[in-house]
């Protein structure tokens, strides 16, 4: 679904359906409560996701189901526009980076957001798709016209990184999609830390909307209570 909305307050640029609920749910709800519009661009349809309901789906069926799940989650998160790309899940590091950046520049120019929400340098989990889309979103923000004021890079604080590294060992499905080294996180004092405890139940409901991916131990406490971002100012000109 493509909805033409200019002057969004925030545009989330993500790699897979469910990224938005993990990383941005509370922040999106906070913005909505403040009367600030939020949109989501997801550049893959998540066809490589492992179906937790064991339905023996084809990749085409998985892509369709996950696209529908993202729409449901965005309705819960009060996102006003959602768009999909057709880049291959699990292979963004093999796509033409300049072409990807060009596509994102066009979308940023169309929606004219004040801020971009995307992945930080480690892609939160070390997923290669997350890392690539974060880099591409920053590059696109710098080339867009008009430029957003800031890019918010979703990041894991150093104070939580040991627990998060341990947690990831139970979550990874396609190990080849992830970098091999342990995550380092970002120093806590370099992060904008948003208290989202008020929206914890709505965030949980958005995660549950991704029925094909949902697990009861889906999110650590750190992601239920706070969303953390490294903020980059985009210089004009």
Cβ contact 128:177 at 8 Å: yes
* Per-residue pLDDT tens over the stretch 93-147: 999 999 999 999 999 999 999 999 999 999 998 889 999 999 999 999 999 999 9
121: number of Cβ within 10 Å? 15
Q: Is the pTM of this model over 0.85?
A: yes
CATH architecture of 10-233: 3-Layer(aba) Sandwich (3.40)
* Per-residue pLDDT tens over the stretch 65-103: 999 999 999 999 999 889 999 999 999 999 999 999 999
Give yes or no for residue 3 having a pLDDT over 50. no
Distances (CA, A) of 169 to 12, 165, 192, 201, 223: 27, 7, 27, 25, 17
E strand segments, the chain? 10-14, 38-42, 81-84, 115-119, 150-154, 192-195, 226-233
Task: Report the percentage of the chain scoring pLDDT > 70.
Answer: 89
Q: What is the chain's mean pLDDT, rounded?
A: 90
List the domain boundaries for the chain.
Answer: 10-233
Position 50 scores a pLDDT of 86
**Of residues 224 and 143, more confidently modeled:** 143
64: number of Cβ within 10 Å? 14
**Of residues 201 and 237, more confidently modeled:** 201
15-24 mean pLDDT: 94
């Amino acid at each position: 679904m493509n909805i033409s909305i200019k002057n969004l307050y925030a545009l989330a640029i993500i790699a897979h359906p469910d990224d938005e609920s993990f990383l941005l749910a509370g922040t999106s709800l906070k913005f909505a409560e403040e009367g600030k519009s939020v949109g989501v661009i997801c550049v893959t349809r998540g066809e490589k996701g492992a179906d937790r309901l064991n339905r023996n789906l084809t990749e085409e069926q998985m892509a369709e189901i996950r696209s529908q799940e993202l729409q449901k989650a965005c309705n819960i998160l009060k996102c006003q526009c959602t768009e999909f790309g057709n880049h291959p899940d699990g292979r963004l590091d093999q796509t033409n980076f300049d072409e990807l950046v060009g596509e994102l520049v066009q979308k940023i120019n169309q929606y004219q957001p004040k801020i971009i929400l995307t992945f930080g340098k480690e892609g939160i989990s070390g997923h290669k798709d997350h890392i690539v889309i974060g880099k591409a979103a920053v590059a696109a923000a710098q080339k867009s016209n008009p430029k957003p004021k800031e890019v918010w890079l979703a990041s894991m604080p150093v104070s939580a990184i040991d627990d998060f590294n341990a947690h990831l060992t139970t979550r990874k499905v396609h190990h080849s999609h992830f970098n091999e080294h342990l995550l380092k996180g970002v120093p806590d004092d370099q992060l904008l830390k948003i208290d989202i405890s008020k929206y914890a139940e709505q965030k949980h409901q958005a995660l549950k909307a991704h029925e094909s991916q949902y697990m009861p131990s889906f999110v650590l406490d750190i992601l239920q209570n706070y969303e953390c971002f490294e903020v980059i100012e985009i210089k004009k000109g």
